[in-house]
Structure 1
Amino acid sequence: MAETRKASRYVVPFAVAGVAAATIGLVPALAASGDPDLPEITAQQLIEKIAASDTQTLSGTFKVSTDLGLPSVAGLADSFASGGATGGTPSTDPTEMLTKLISGTHTLRVAADGPDRQKLTILDGSDEYSLIHNGDDVWAYDSKSNEVFHEKGEAADRPAEEKELPGTPKELADEVLKAAGDTTSITVGGTATVAGRDAYQLVIKPKQSGSTVESVKIAVDAKTGTPLKFTLASVEGGKPVLDAGFTKVDFAKPAASTFDFKAPKGAKVTEGMGEGPAEHGKSPEDVEKDLEKEFGGLDGLFGGMAPGAGEGKGMNVIGEGWTTIATYDTGAKAPKTDEAPKEIQGFLDSLGDEVDGKFGSGTVFKTKIVNALMTDDGKVYVGAVTKQALVDAANAAK
């Protein structure tokens, strides 16, 4: 417990990487060569086309290449997974496996048949890791360790949101363009061929200076309106932060057997909290109590960095649009990296830059997209903005 408490003081820099991964998502994207000749279309019409898309079935293969400008986290993740600082988790844990996608290049297979059936497989040489949702069952299987995680969940058929939403694609497009306002440029940047399909390219760029985002490009299937490509580029240049995309795609309904799963003979099966004893877990109530004790609840754990998290509990928002900065007072002096557990000390040293100003001194924990300044007196400033923008915000707050 003491080691866990010590490690918890270093949540903020790790949350930076988590937020960056969350803002990226897993939207498939990788343009092939070729510029098809398609009818002209406006940005609003293309947004309407995306909104009108009703793709329920597909299968395909795509690659995800991520470059956050971070040092390798593979060894660090293995250390934590083996119980080094936070306690062990099963190798089939989806959160643990998906964190591997925040660096390097990975090949994935995907299949979907409506809201009740989806399958995602991460390929790693001859090894595979699969997540399967089939009705009320959720399975995770790691072929390398021959371990299975199974959990029962509610059926995917849930009542629609009661809040009022735009009623037509045109209304939705109008809302998107209105939300973009004066801070964003949205244009159609030509065409592309993605996985053998003709696509339009929607280009989104900040008009404000100080953002770390250079552009977002989304390739949209010209026939179905389905997004096929998402490329996120940083003002730092170099490789895209995210370049992930379909190399093969088929919109036909996958065979029902695609989503069938039976634990292989000899596999270790762990039941989740929804059914049977959890070998590795605790009840939701116990987890909530632990979070409250260790971090002051979820808001304390993430330092109020998630949108809307911690509002009314110390989090404030500075600026607007692409240069929005969230601020949060942890109420405690920032730890020194040389006090960190040895498993993460080198990682923190490579991730952070010491800075000073009117606010005093602190450390900027950086990626190519999301940066966070943690001052020595425990205040946190985080956003998809440059290091200087964070320092300026901290100075202005004094």
Structure 2
Amino acid sequence: MKETQADVRQERATPRRWTRWIPAAAVPAVVAVGVLASGATAGSPPPPSTPQQVLALVAAHTARSFSGTMEEHTDLGLPSIPGQALSAAKGSSSLGSEAALLDLLTASHTANVYADGPTRQRVQVIDQLAERDAIRNGTDAWTYDSSTHKVTHAQLPAGTAASAPTPAALSPDQLAQRLLAAAGPNTDVSLGSPTTVAGHGAYTLVLTPKASGTLVARVTIAVESQTGLPLAVDVFAKGQSEPAVHAAFTKLALRAPDPSVFAFTPPAGATVTEKGAPSAPAGTDHARTDKAPASKAATAPRGWDAVVTVPAAKVPAGFADQPLVKQLATPVAGGSVISSSLFTVFLAADGRVLAGAVPASTLEAAAAAPATTGAK
């Protein structure tokens, strides 16, 4: 196991996130904005008494300022997608987000990340001969993709809470949130050996699913010993010695970046699209970033072997017929399957899409079962 491997923390969903208008293709790797509390020390920290103490440290970390570089890569057993195919898919109105997610799941990425409080963040994804940016500077939110020379801009309402763009949210902190949300009573939580990540001493949490029907073997998180910030996350699939998903800081400075990194002016000749910022429903408190709406919390699928079902009406038109999807999918009875070492997607013949960190047989059985309200 690598010294920089790590674990995960409980998701705190944000109501009406400001980034919902951002094209997913613009940001294949992003950083969570609520992160730092104070300075950190290099070297291994003294071991805490219990895993619960480390979980509490993660849950209590607060938003401050930092800058750094992070990396993410995957080993899911999926074939590499040719760059031209991904570019064409990203330009498709029906497959842009899905192509961005496939790009995230089949390629490695490096990103420079900056934050100075809850209203100033920048994620600068460095691709080969290209750059993608997501920037918030006060009430201005921008994205830029140098490969398409396209810019989007939105003027945000004052007080709008910030959060990471989706679906490609694989910063250590954001990934930790999502995985801890999938944990709970069906997870054994233990402590691994203290470690050092990007020069910062860290505790190591180890999450092991109790469910036998999941493809996830274990998850590790390196938690910064002073601030509680997840510094690295590794997700291991059953039967694999190397992590199927790895996200980690390689450099991290716990101080405010130069203000100039948040300034953005569209490059000459770029196509600029103005987007309307999402409006919150009556009674929504934009400043709350620690709790999800009760209705979502009650209906969200939980557990390592959970199955998510997307009704046919909500699946993008022609999704299953896209060349990119056909390249990855294998025909089976009742539809087709996209399989990887860590997750499976079942494209039902009736248009539904089912997904989970479970074998294909589980999704096929769920698709054939009598209709329910949505997810297992």
TM-score (norm 2): 0.66
Aligned with residue 307 of structure 2, among 325, 329, 336: 325
Contact persistence 2:94–2:318 (CA under 8 A): no
Corresponding residue for 2:120?
A: 117
Q: How far off is 1:203 after superposition?
A: 0.9
Contact persistence 1:27–1:230 (CA under 8 A): no
Q: How far off is 1:366 after superposition?
A: 1.9
What is the percent sequence identity of the aligned residues? 31
Contact persistence 1:66–1:242 (CA under 8 A): yes
SS at match of 1:69: coil
Corresponding residue for 2:261?
A: 258
The CA distance in 2 between the partners of 1:326 and 1:123, in whole Å, is 32
Contact persistence 1:149–1:270 (CA under 8 A): yes
The CA distance in 2 between the partners of 1:240 and 1:158, in whole Å, is 33
Using CA pairs under 8 Å that are at least 6 residues apart, name the structure with larger relative contact order, 1 or 2: 2
Report the AA paired with residue 184 of structure 2.
A
The CA distance in 2 between the partners of 1:328 and 1:106, in whole Å, is 28
Aligned with residue 78 of structure 2, among 58, 61, 70: 70
Contact persistence 1:329–1:378 (CA under 8 A): yes
Corresponding residue for 1:211?
A: 214
Q: Which runs of 5+ in 2 are unaligned?
A: 1-26, 34-41, 163-179, 279-294, 372-376
| CA shift digits 1:74-111 (9 cap, x unpaired) | 4333223445xx4798xxxx997676333211111000
Q: How far off is 1:192 after superposition?
A: 1.3
Summarize the Cα distance change of 1:373–1:210 in structure 2 as closer, same or farther, 3 Å threshold: same
SS at match of 1:225: coil
Q: Which runs of 5+ in 1 are unaligned?
A: 1-21, 29-33, 160-175, 276-283, 285-306, 356-360
Over aligned residues, Cα RMSD in angstroms?
Answer: 4.2
Q: How does 1:141-290 map to 2 (within 5 A)?
A: 141-157=144-160, 180-181=184-185, 183-237=186-240, 239-264=242-267, 266-274=268-276
The CA distance in 2 between the partners of 1:88 and 1:395, in whole Å, is 26
SS at match of 1:53: coil
Q: Does 1:367 align with 2:375?
A: no
Summarize the Cα distance change of 1:214–1:262 in structure 2 as closer, same or farther, 3 Å threshold: same
Contact persistence 2:139–2:155 (CA under 8 A): yes
Corresponding residue for 1:12?
A: none
May I ask how many residue pairs the two structures share in their alignment? Answer: 300
| CA shift digits 1:35-88 (9 cap, x unpaired) | 8362333111001111222241110011111233322334333223445xx479
Q: How far off is 1:249 after superposition?
A: 0.1
The CA distance in 2 between the partners of 1:395 and 1:212, in whole Å, is 21
The CA distance in 2 between the partners of 1:145 and 1:390, in whole Å, is 37
| CA shift digits 1:111-159 (9 cap, x unpaired) | 0011110000011245322211101111223344544332222234569
The CA distance in 2 between the partners of 1:395 and 1:158, in whole Å, is 41
Corresponding residue for 1:165?
A: none
Q: How far off is 1:391 after superposition?
A: 4.1
Q: Does 1:41 align with 2:49?
A: yes
Contact persistence 1:353–1:365 (CA under 8 A): no
Summarize the Cα distance change of 1:198–1:373 in structure 2 as closer, same or farther, 3 Å threshold: same
Contact persistence 2:31–2:123 (CA under 8 A): no
The CA distance in 1 between the partners of 2:348 and 2:146, in whole Å, is 44
Report the AA paired with residue 329 of structure 2.
L
Contact persistence 1:117–1:135 (CA under 8 A): yes
Q: Does 1:352 align with 2:330?
A: yes
| CA shift digits 1:221-268 (9 cap, x unpaired) | 01111110111111141542211211110111112122112233x232
Report the AA paired with residue 326 of structure 2.
L
Report the AA paired with residue 251 of structure 1.
L
Q: How does 1:273-312 map to 2 (within 5 A)?
A: 273-274=275-276
Contact persistence 1:325–1:382 (CA under 8 A): yes
Corresponding residue for 2:8?
A: none
Summarize the Cα distance change of 1:70–1:25 in structure 2 as closer, same or farther, 3 Å threshold: farther
Contact persistence 1:327–1:379 (CA under 8 A): yes
Report the AA paired with residue 76 of structure 1.
A
Contact persistence 2:311–2:352 (CA under 8 A): yes
Summarize the Cα distance change of 1:146–1:391 in structure 2 as closer, same or farther, 3 Å threshold: closer
Bigger CA radius of gyration: 1
Contact persistence 2:213–2:305 (CA under 8 A): yes
Contact persistence 2:142–2:154 (CA under 8 A): yes
Q: How far off is 1:379 after superposition?
A: 6.0
Contact persistence 1:118–1:133 (CA under 8 A): yes
